[in-house]
Chains A and B, each alone.
Chain A
Amino acid sequence: MIPGVDGFMYPNEVELQWSLLIVLYPYITGLVAGAFILASLERVFKVEAVRPTYRLALLTALAFLLVAPLPLQLHLGHPERSIEMYLTPHRSSAMAMFGFVYLWYLTVVLLLEIWLEFRADIVRMAQTTKGLTRLVYKALTLGSENLSPAARRIDDKVGYAVTVIGIPSAFLLHGYVGFIFGSIKANPWWSSPLMPIVFLFSAMVSGIATVLLLYMASMKVKKMAIDMRCLDTIAKYLFYTFVIDFTLEMLDLIHRTYEADESFRSLDFMVHTRLWGSQVILQILLGTLVPLVLLAANQLWTFSEAKRRAMYVIACGLTLVGIFAMRWNVVIGGQLFSKSFLGYTTYKVEFAAREGLLAASALMLLPFVIFIVLVKLLPPWPERETT
């Protein structure tokens, strides 16, 4: 009897190959994609009400995107060879695309859009600050200091075009992460054409919830008034996106249950035992149904501002827990059962190991540190408050 194993596992299956760090990877890229799509609401779809969060959403996306490859890098058996994915990518591999999708998204979409959006501010800072700060801003202007109305119009037009390109790119970034899992025919828990689209909508849900929380927290720290119209609009979009996300996930569940193929009994047992806490309680009940009820209530009834704020904080906090649980259930759940469908293994998170809780916590804190640096460097608040 092998400790932690119930039933029969192929001998090499007992040890899980993809750890907590691989749970972080889709979680973080999801936050990036979701935050960017929220930003594009204002820019492309002209939803003026969410304007106060536009710049904040872009910086959030960048902070998380910079961290996105780190869990993968830390997970590799030979991190020093990761450059080979750029030099000799294997064209039939879904994973080989990661480097290119990432670089495209980082440089062509996000950095360019942020630079165009903040260029005028950067130039002004370069002119008004002194010493080392001035040098930093001077470098960030990239030599482009023309702030004439004609130049600003060009910034705006190019920025718009970049955002238009950015929306499918954000879809690609996260839909592709879903494809990495969804295309593994050996694993019935992952293998589903719905996987990319489920990942995409859950990404939007988590990204929107993050920006909403960061906006509220930033306003609190800056002692600025929260724009309730903005908050209500974001919450409305969060609700709609969440309904689509939940529908897709339920469609997947119903389809699996109704089809009840060879793997069903094994997976069903796993959900009722090893994944009961993380899937049924955390993901579905606390992470989906409770936030959905809170958000739906706000669509049906009018509450006071204080109550709405509290409801949004609870809904968004739980949403983030729920989406994390969803990533956990996909990545870890997909490795707990045997491909023989005859047994189950256990995953215990180590603490101070290379892929342990400590490293994962540090990686989850890092985007917030980067975010603080970014908002110091490029204040996303309205101009009058920054002075």
Chain B
Amino acid sequence: MDISRRDLFTMGGKLLVLASVGASLEQITGAAPPTDAYRMAEHWWGMIIDVDKCIGCGNCARACSRENNVPSGYFRTWVERYEIEEGRPPHVESPNGALDGFPPSKREDVKSFYVPKLCNQCADSPCVQVCPVGATFVSPDGVVLVDETYCLGCRYCVQACPYGCRYLHPDKNTVDKCTLCYHRITKGLTTACCESCPTGARQLVDFKDPKDPVHEFLRHNKVQVLKPYMATQAKVYYKNLDGAVR
């Protein structure tokens, strides 16, 4: 087929009009340009918790419960109060996961502090290892998630978690846990627990972001993960964590 110079110009013109209409439409509809899209490979999520800053108000537990519709009696995050008397086993409590805060302590002669708990988003996660169908997995951006359309509800992962972070959702009959508010963090927001913390004791961090304050935090503070001997490569780091905490 012969194409004249005139035909070529006409076709080029039509293409140009089509492309500009497409671009304007994208602007009108508000679709994000591809460059700003969330890319999982560019993130590696975790959390830092400053134990000394936690006041045990329970805001985090309440915010999490509301944000994620956590069923009553189960917890994606909770706060524990430790009271330690020299030479004695620690006294620990977490009434209703601290959803209602804590009653005033009756002891003044003990070392007392609060420890917020949540899924440790382990990179070598024992729960992921044992799932018989791969329904629970570590996402490319480092969050341990459960595919509730695939989970059998066998609860082997609940047994394998050293931190007690998983439970069987009573309505869905599948395992449920902290998702690090995945629906929020992939939109550029922080987690519900971090957002509601009045003292900034909990901070969502992105280990792959060179500008994230986590790097400064890890450089200048003595930090610890829970049960380090479990070798799960937990990504929730605690500052000033007492050795008695389990």
Q: Which residues of A approach B to under 8 Å, CB–CB?
A: 8-13, 15, 17-18, 72, 75-78, 81-82, 84-85, 88-90, 92-96, 98, 180, 184-187, 334-335, 338-342
Contact = CB atoms under 8 A, between A and B. Distances in A.
A90 B132 contact: yes
15 contacts: A8-B80, A10-B78, A11-B75, A12-B165, A17-B168, A77-B155, A77-B168, A78-B173, A84-B152, A90-B132, A90-B133, A93-B129, A93-B130, A96-B132, A186-B160
A10 B78 CA distance: 9
Given A12-B165, A12-B166, A186-B230, A78 B129 contact: no
Contacts of B92: 8, 340, 342
B44 interface: no
Given A84-B133, A95-B154, A77 B173 contact: yes
Given A82-B152, A90-B133, A185-B230, A11 B246 contact: no
Contact of B152 (A81, A187, A339): A81
Contacts of A180: 156
Contacts of B156: 93, 95, 180
A82 B150 CA distance: 10
A92 B129 contact: yes
Contacts, number: 121
Interface residues of B, number: 45
B161 A186 contact: yes
A18 B160 CA distance: 12
B112 to A, nearest CB: 14
Interface in B141-164: 150-156, 158-164
B62 interface: no
Contacts of B161: 186
Interface string B45-88: 00000000000000000000000000000110010100000000
A187 B159 contact: yes
Most buried by A among B94, B97, B126, B159: B159
Interface of B: 74-75, 78, 80, 89-94, 96-97, 117, 126, 128-134, 150-156, 158-168, 172-175, 230, 246
Contact of B163 (A10, A98, A335): A10
Contacts of A334: 159
Given A12-B75, A342-B89, A85 B133 contact: yes
Nearest to A183: B130
B159 A186 contact: yes
A180 B163 CA distance: 19
A186 B154 contact: no
Q: Identify the 3 closest CB pairs spanning chains A and B, nearest first.
A: A77-B153, A10-B164, A77-B173
The B interface, classified by DSSP as helix, strand, loop or mixed, is loop
B53 to A, nearest CB: 22
A13 B165 CA distance: 9
Contact of A12 (B74, B130, B150): B74
Given A12-B165, A95-B154, A17 B159 contact: yes
A252 B153 CA distance: 31
A339 B172 CA distance: 25
B230 A8 contact: no
Contacts of B128: 92
Contact of A85 (B151, B152, B168): B152
A117 to B, nearest CB: 34
A9 B93 CA distance: 8
Contacts of B97: 11
Nearest to A99: B132
A334 B168 CA distance: 18
A96 B128 CA distance: 12
Given A8-B80, A18-B159, A95-B156, 8 more contacts: A10-B164, A75-B154, A76-B153, A77-B155, A78-B152, A84-B150, A90-B132, A185-B162
Contacts of A12: 74-75, 158, 164-167
B94 A11 contact: yes
Contact of A78 (B126, B174, B246): B174
Contacts of A82: 152
User: Counting chain A CB atoms within 10 Å of each CB, which of B154, B156, B160, B163 scores highest?
Assistant: B154
A274 to B, nearest CB: 18
B117 A10 contact: yes
Nearest to A266: B89
Contacts of B167: 12, 15
B153 A89 contact: no
A76 B152 contact: yes
Residue of B94, B158, B174 contacting most chain A CB atoms (<10 Å): B158
Nearest to B136: A90
Contact of B78 (A11, A81, A93): A11
A40 to B, nearest CB: 30
A259 to B, nearest CB: 14
A77 B152 contact: yes
